[in-house]
Structure 1
Amino acid sequence: MSFQELILTYGYPMLFLGVLIESEAVLLIGVYLAQQGYFSLPIVIGVAALSSFLAAQFCFFVGHRYGATFLVKRPNWQLRFSRVQRLMNRFGIGLVLGFRVIYGLRGVIPAAIGLADYSRLVFIGLNAMGALLWAVAVGLAGSSFVHIAEHIFAKLSSHSTALILVLCGLSLCWGMYRFYRHLQREKSIIP
């Protein structure tokens, strides 16, 4: 059973769990299915926002409650925590609102914020706003992309469509390769 079939069979609860695990990818699948008439786009965005909010709250709680002992037992995480501290010093509230766009640190950032004795009430409010902004932005951007892609593919021949898909796939692979290399260089630079 494919992931799309799971979402169609189990609906919004599966979408909720999927966003907990895979964030944007599952949200975009939900947006696509909403465009096809299987889901409601506002509900997809709401479920994604709630899922993202609760995941970040859980990480914040774990960091707040168990962070110090967690770091003592895992010294290799100290580097990530130090990186998040530098980001907090540089961006402050902006980091709390926008950490969802920083791939690889989505769970670490709320945990580190909790470890840093950030106000729980302030984090709840900023986390709720950030989750809603993230879900609306990704959901509406995905909806627009799906609409534009459907419009373009409807006008193309099958050969043109295949060529465009291959080029997009190659471009995506190249971009992921470059991003991975950038991350590797950044890790080697950070002391």
Structure 2
Amino acid sequence: MIDLLHYLVERFGLVAVFAGCLAEGESAAIFGGFFAHQQVFAVWHTVAVAFAGAFLGDTALFLAGRRFADHPRVLALRARPGFSHAHGLVERHPNIFILTNRFIYGLRMVGGVAAGLSSVPVARFLALNAASALVWACIFVSLGYFFGAGAEHLIGDALVKHQRLLIGVGLAVAVMAIGLWLGHRYLRTRH
């Protein structure tokens, strides 16, 4: 079973990082960085995949807001708490908003659609989104990489591949659980 899991991570792990980064994927980027430290993935591959997922995910949200403003899914995002605040911010400070939107937990989807509904030109959004996605990918993949270094330092560098895999999966689950808990707690305090 462990051999199968290891094979799947080696074979499809970067696809999972990409898919995770299409949505709010900090944990996917951290997960990828951990495995880059364990030499399952190349670091630059992991950063490139995390960048591509983050860039394309936010671009899709922007285009959804721009092209499908009256679609039921876009209308549902517009009805979310904080949408009017995000839309006001993108209109008042478009450059800062686009550069920082992905770093604010829980605002990424709403912020992408809000940017699409704003008066920001497509070319400007794409350039700022690319810069922001690159910085984001480098930061979160690096965090995962350093988690890997910390785990190796704490446990020792005598880990075999299977133990590294289990630690990586455990860290990914822990990061996702903490993120969900913090997001839920934040939303409860806002209401």
Aligned to 1:62: 64
Cα distance change, pair 73–130 in 1 and its aligned pair in 2 (3 A): closer
Backbone CA RMSD of aligned residues = 3.1
CA contact (8 A) 1:56 1:127 kept: yes
CA contact (8 A) 1:67 1:112 kept: no
- Give TM-score, length-normalised by structure 1: 0.74
Deviation at 1:75, TM superposition (A): 8.6
Amino acid at match of 2:189: R
- Tell me whether 1:110 sits opposite 2:125 in the alignment: no
Cα distance change, pair 78–13 in 1 and its aligned pair in 2 (3 A): closer
- SS for the counterpart of 1:107 is helix
Cα distance change, pair 107–3 in 1 and its aligned pair in 2 (3 A): farther
2:26 pairs with one of 24, 27, 47: 24
Amino acid at match of 1:12: L
Matches within 5 A, 1:31-180: 31-70=33-72, 73-74=75-76, 77=79, 79-88=81-90, 91-154=93-156, 180=184
Tell me, in whole angstroms, the C-alpha distance in 2 between the residues paired with 1:50 and 1:74.
26
CA contact (8 A) 2:37 2:43 kept: yes
Cα distance change, pair 4–28 in 1 and its aligned pair in 2 (3 A): farther
* Consecutive unaligned residues in structure 1, runs of 5 or more: 156-164
- SS for the counterpart of 1:67 is coil
Deviation at 1:98, TM superposition (A): 1.6
Aligned to 2:187: 183
Aligned to 1:162: none
CA contact (8 A) 1:71 1:78 kept: no
Residues 68-126 of structure 1 deviation map (CA, whole Å, 9 limit, x = unaligned) = 45489549716432021243356532220121122222111111111112110000000
Cα distance change, pair 59–22 in 1 and its aligned pair in 2 (3 A): closer
Cα distance change, pair 139–108 in 1 and its aligned pair in 2 (3 A): same
CA contact (8 A) 1:49 1:134 kept: yes
Higher helix share: 1
- When Rg is computed on C-alpha atoms for both structures, the one with the higher figure is 1
Tell me, in whole angstroms, the C-alpha distance in 2 between the residues paired with 1:79 and 1:36.
40
CA contact (8 A) 1:60 1:112 kept: yes
Cα distance change, pair 73–119 in 1 and its aligned pair in 2 (3 A): closer
Tell me, in whole angstroms, the C-alpha distance in 1 between the residues paired with 2:180 and 2:10.
29
Tell me, in whole angstroms, the C-alpha distance in 2 between the residues paired with 1:94 and 1:85.
13
Mean CA deviation greater in 29-38 or 43-52: 29-38
Tell me, in whole angstroms, the C-alpha distance in 1 between the residues paired with 2:29 and 2:5.
12
- Give TM-score, length-normalised by structure 2: 0.74
